[in-house]
Every structure is written in structure tokens, then in C-alpha cells.
Amino acid sequence: MKSIVFPMRVKVYILFVPLLIVFIAADTSSNISQTQSLAYGNTLVSYPQGTFELGFFNLEETNKIYLGIRYKNIPLRNIIWVANVGNPMKDSSAILKLNSSGNLVLTHNNTVVWSTSSPKEAQNPVVELLDSGNLVIRDGNSTNSNQEEYLWQSFDYPSDTMLPGMKIGWDLKRNHSRNLKSWKSNDDPAPGDLSWGIALNPYPEVIMMKGTEKYQRVGPWNGVQFSVFPEMTTNPIYHYEFVSNTEEVYYTWTLQQSSLITRAVLNQTTQQRIHYVWSDPDASWVVYSALPADECDHYGVCGANSYCKTSASPMCQCLQGFNPVSPEKWNSKNWSQGCVLKQPLSCTDNYTDQFVKYEGMKVPETTHTWLDQNITLDECKAKCLKNCSCMAYTSSNISGTGSGCVIWFGQLFDIVMLQSGGQDLYIRIPASELESEGTKVNDKSEHRRTVRRSGSAMGKLVDGQEIAVKRLSSSSEQGITEFITEVKLIAKLQHRNLVKLLGCCVEGEEKLLVYEYMVNGSLDSFIFVLNSIFALQNSRSNESGYMAPEYAVEGLFSIKSDVYSFGILLLEIICGIKNRALCHGNQTVNLVGYAWSLWKEDNALQLIDSSIKDSCVISEVLRCIHVSLLCVQQFPEDRPTMTSVIQMLGSQMELVEPKEPGFFPRRIPTEETSSSDQNRYASIDELSITTFNGR
């Protein structure tokens, strides 16, 4: 099976839990009819590929026996569904069979432990386990495999795991909710505190509950994705679908690569919904995404009428036109009371109130909303102004040019300014507030003079966000169409660690780029001295420092050569120095040798650049150092693939110990030494390469 790597938005975590499950299996079958049964020691195997199996299992150090479905063809045979979650059996006298009405019945000592309840009947009911992991009862005389034709299916009653093809949401015809429910603990599959499903608000949204309290809100479907759902970003692996009509409200996802093994689990221990992908090379589950991913993902952390921004300090900010309810508590980072309007809204027929536009937002909680999919954004604004309780509005569908309308009434909760994605949100404030704020940003003449003089300037948007403006050369031959196309492309390449392109301005021959303002300047000014990077005289001499040994020495390029270069680059970023000669004790070594020496001495923390040491997560940086040393191994076969490198950096999977890296200088013993040359070293870095050829 092929191992696949995905782009990720959030920090990821992996939980290693001892294997607590013992599956009892002797005989197997592919289906159960009314004349058959499944006893303790037998299993029902999915058809046709045998991906899953249904059988009885018990948890180690307990006498509790459950009927469940697990993976069959991978080493970690995780349970993905349990029938009798709250009613375990004590011994092996358990039997599963179809009764006369076509329902599954699990009995223990002639007592019903669990059963299905289907309103449909069939003359020839058959139980099958599908390769999707779905246990179904269907009419054996029918060849229709449509889910709607099943008499009963386990996908309608999920446990803690969501699989491809499963629907999470509501069957409105039966008033039945399909929610994930976490296990109570690792040895108890009874429902825990966490649940994951869709809240049937006027504008439906995905939400995680902790007991009866809202714990994390993923947000509503905006025509493209849910607001905070990292795996929903466009990729060739997953296809997400949201359906909302008079019969059903649900979301589902399918795989565009059938060989992939993946699942999403609601984990009681970590208090997260974790999306796993199976890695064959590592024989383990690798975390693809986890929610909540940061503090801003927790519900209502900033209180009412405010927004959360992970990269800001403090992370909670009042919306424009609002002040903290309690400035004292707010300044002490107790944000629970939120913010209130500085001045009351006009609420008159003159419609003098104004709206502040926020971009890239996770919209507020949708409990108190009004939705109309058939009106324009301008009509939406007009409806909001006519209602004194309306505090915000936006398009309900942002696909294409946008359409529909959603309006919020009363307090606005759980707004997040996202690093990427999100949508526009229009917040209602008194006109006087917009005018007073506007004086800070509307005096363009001084900024224009500054931009013309220096090529760049800074300023503020109406929401208070600081921006940097860059003026492009008027001598550029790039046309307006090409410029706008390029800006749109760059704007999509956004990440929390990259400067965000907010927009552009074109007037005549003038072209301006508007960026998020970085208080500390750009990253390169911290890592290296700028002129030493771009100086022509240094460029050629520095190239060999990135070359893999097999290429520099023998001119052989392997599929692992770029892995070596990546390892060097990673070390340079961590250390803030180039891969060149360094003094370490009484030795002269390059960066790789320096890193290896400190690693062997269990002193790798000395590698971390002082400018990031106080703000970084030490465990993450040490992991990066570990991975970089694996990348710069002497022999290509000892280096990981780039696929594995990404998995190593994006998970907590166990790493092998690195061997001595390539290009590590070694001392050459000499018969004659002088006081001026007591220690001599040979290093492949010292080879002279006079001609560079493209590869």
C-alpha cells in the first residue's frame, strides 16, 4: 500500500495506547442468514477484500465481552464499532442471529443483550459486513446496494469512529441523529463526555459537545467547506459533501484513492477529534489533523462580541466599536465576559448604522440566525439594517461570486480570525464609530508620499489591523491582468508562518501590494546576514554545502540527494548559521559536524538560535534536529524519503537514532605536527569543484 503525505494546517499529536483488545476468532463466514448464527469464537469477514471483521472481543484485565467490528488486514486491529456498548457480557455464551422479523439479536444466556429495530421487513433478510466497515441487513432477494434500501446499517449508529462513506448529521424523516460518541475510557466503550455531530440551527453547523456544554465549533457549511476543518482544504485524496434538505442534514467524505486507510476518532483522553492515516512503512497510524488544534478552537474563549487570533498578543480582541465589559479582567487575560458596544446603535428609519468588514473569519455561532439562500448580499445588508437586533451578516454560500444571506441577532460568540480560509463577515456598529476609526486610515496623502519615497509603508485598516504596503516599480512591463492573476495565486499560498498577502491596489501604472505587517521584520533578517546570502562572491562557494556526498564526490544523483539538502537547510534554520566552518572546542567543523557533536553529547539545545529559544517549543525543535540528522546521513539508503520526513515532522511517531552523518570531518593523524597546526582534518567539503552542471 502506498504511503501518502498531505498538507496540514495545525499542530498534530499522536497518542500511543497499549493494545488492550483481544479478538476471539476461530471460524469465519461472509454473511449470516436466518438459518445461521454467529457464536463466540466465530467472525464475519467483510466482502470482497476482507478489510474488516465482526466478532466478539474482550478487554484485557476485564471479563467484559463485546460484539464489535475491527480492522483485519493491518497489525493494529483497532475497533471501529461496538454493538453492546453499555451492556457487556460476562462469559462466552453469546450468540448473534437474525430473528423472524429480520432484526439482529444478541443474546447471552437466553437474555437479549442488544438488538436492532428496523421498521422494514424482507422475505429473505441477510446480514453482511461491507468493505466500508458498514454492517448491514439487506434483502437477500434484492441486488440493489443503495444505502436507502438497507433494512438496517451500523453506519446509522456510529461509535467513536467515522469512516469514509459514513454520514454524520440528521435523518429528519426519523428524527434520528448520527453522532460520534467517544469511549468512556480505553477499557470501556460506553459513551464518554464527548460527542460530534451537526447542530440543527437555522444555519446548521458541526459542533463538538462535552457533556451538555459546547466544546468546539467547526462552523457552518459555507458552500466550500466548514470554517475550521483542516482536511477539507482542496486535495486529491478526500472529497467532502454536505447535504441539507427536508429529509436529511449531514456531511460525508469519500476517498479518491481507494488504497488509503483512514479514520477519524473522537478521543476522550486527548479531548480531540483526531483524523488518522495508516502508514505501511511505519506500521502505525499517523495523525493527519486534530481538533481542537489551538486555544482559538475552544468554544467562546474570548467571550461575546470579540474575536480570537492565534498569532496576536493578546489573542482576544474586541470587535471594532466594542470595549471590554471589564477592562481590568480583560487586561488580566480573563476574557469570559467579552465586549459591549461603546455606543448604542441608532435603530432608526434613517439606517445610519454602518458595517465593518472582517475578512478570513470563522463566523459566529449560528444558534440565533436567519437564513435565506435566495437573496443577494446587498439585500442581506438592507434586511439587517431594518432589524434592531441584527448585529452581523454575510453570504451563506461563498462559492463562485457568493450568494445567499445569513443574519445574526444579539450577542456574537466564538468568532475567530483564521490564518487562511474563512469568509467575510460584516459587523454592525454606529456610524460615529466608523468615522472616528476612519480618521486613522483615510489620510492617504502622507502614506502615498511615504510609499513613493521609500517603496514601502505601513498603516492600519478600519478593523485596526496593521498592514505593510509595498509599491512595485513603475518600470515593470507586467500588465494589469497578469499582475492580478499573480496576486490571486500568491494569496492562496498562505500559512501561519508566512507573511499573509491581504490584497492589492492598482491605479494607472501604480501597483501596490498590501501585506500583513510583521513587527519583527522578515525571517531572513533573523537567520542570516542579508548581504552574505545574496553577495555574488559567496553564492558559488556556498552551494557545495548543500550537496549530498554521492553527488559532490562521484557526481551521482540519487532520489535521496535532495533529502540531504533539506536536512542542511533545516539545521540552518534552527541554528541561524550557514553550513560552513565553525569552531567547536579545539576542532574546526562544519555545521553538520557541529550538530552531530552536540547531539552525541546530549547537548543539542545549544544548536537553537538565541533569537527563537525563548519562544519555541523545545520538544518540537529537538524533533526537527533529530529529523535533520537523519536526512544528512552518509549513505542514501540510511536517509528517509521526503514522504517519511513530512510524516516525522507532522506527528509524534518514534524516530530511529541517526548514524554519523555525511561530510563529517575526521582528524588525520600526522607524524609531524606544529604548534600552529596541531589538529588537521580531512573533509569532503574541502574538495574543489570548478564546474557546476545543471541536473
Highest mean pLDDT among 60-69, 298-307, 454-463: 298-307
pLDDT in the model for residue 491: 64
Q: What percent of the chain clears pLDDT 70, i.e. is strictly above it?
A: 74
pLDDT at res. 87: 93
Judge residue 441's burial from the number of C-beta atoms within 10 Å of its C-beta, 0-12 exposed, 13-18 middle, 19 or more buried.
Answer: middle
- The pLDDT tens digits for 498-525 are 667 777 887 777 778 888 777 655 544 4
Among candidates 432, 442, 375, which has minimal Cα distance to 402? 375
**Treating both helix axes as pointing N-terminal to C-terminal, what angle do 561-575 and 642-649 enclose, rounded to 10 degrees?**
30
Q: What is the pLDDT of residue 18?
A: 37
The reported pLDDT for the residue numbered 43 is 94
Cβ distance 287 to 650 under 8 Å? yes
Exposure of 143 in the CB half-sphere (CA atoms within 13 A): 0
- pLDDT grade for 119, boundaries at 50, 70 and 90: confident
For residue 581, name the pLDDT band (cuts at 50, 70, 90). low
Is CATH 2.90.10.10 what the domain over 18-157 is classified as, yes or no? Answer: yes
pLDDT for 695 equals 36
Render pLDDT for 418-446 as a digit per residue (tens, 0 to 9): 987 889 999 999 988 875 544 332 233 33
Higher pLDDT, 229 or 200: 200
**Sign (positive or negative) of CA dihedral 440, 443, 444, 446:** negative
Q: What is the pTM of this model?
A: 0.63
Strand-strand pairing, 415-417 and 423-429: unpaired
The domains of the chain are located at: 18-157, 161-293, 300-437, 443-516, 525-686
Cβ partners under 8 Å of residue 44, min gap 6: 28, 29, 30, 31, 32, 38, 53, 54, 55, 127, 128, 129
| pLDDT at site 679 | 36
Q: Which residues lie below 8 Å from residue 576, measured CB to CB, with a gap of 6+?
A: 526, 527, 528, 609, 610, 611, 612
Provide the CATH topology of domain 525-686: Transferase(Phosphotransferase); domain 1 (1.10.510)
The CATH H-level (homologous superfamily) assignment of domain 443-516 is Phosphorylase Kinase; domain 1 (3.30.200.20)
Whole-number pLDDT of residue 19 = 40
**Using 50, 70 and 90 to split pLDDT, how confident is the model at 6?**
very low
Dihedral pair phi/psi, residue 66, rounded to 5°: -130, 155
Burial (CB count <10 Å: 0-12, 13-18, 19+), residue 435:
exposed
- Of 212-216, 226-230, 598-602, 645-649, highest mean pLDDT: 212-216
Mean pLDDT of 568-592: 75
Average pLDDT score, the chain: 80
> What is the structure's pLDDT at 403?
93
Question: Residues with Cβ < 8 Å from 66, sequence gap 6 or more?
Answer: 56, 57, 58, 59, 82, 83, 84, 85, 88, 89, 189
Choice among 87-91, 455-459, 471-475, 494-498 with the minimum mean pLDDT = 494-498
Beta carbons within 8 Å of 327's beta carbon, 6+ residues apart: none
pLDDT of residue 249: 96
pLDDT tens sequence across 43-78: 999 988 999 999 999 876 778 999 999 999 898 889
More confident residue, 673 or 268: 268
Identify the residue with better confidence: 238 or 211: 211
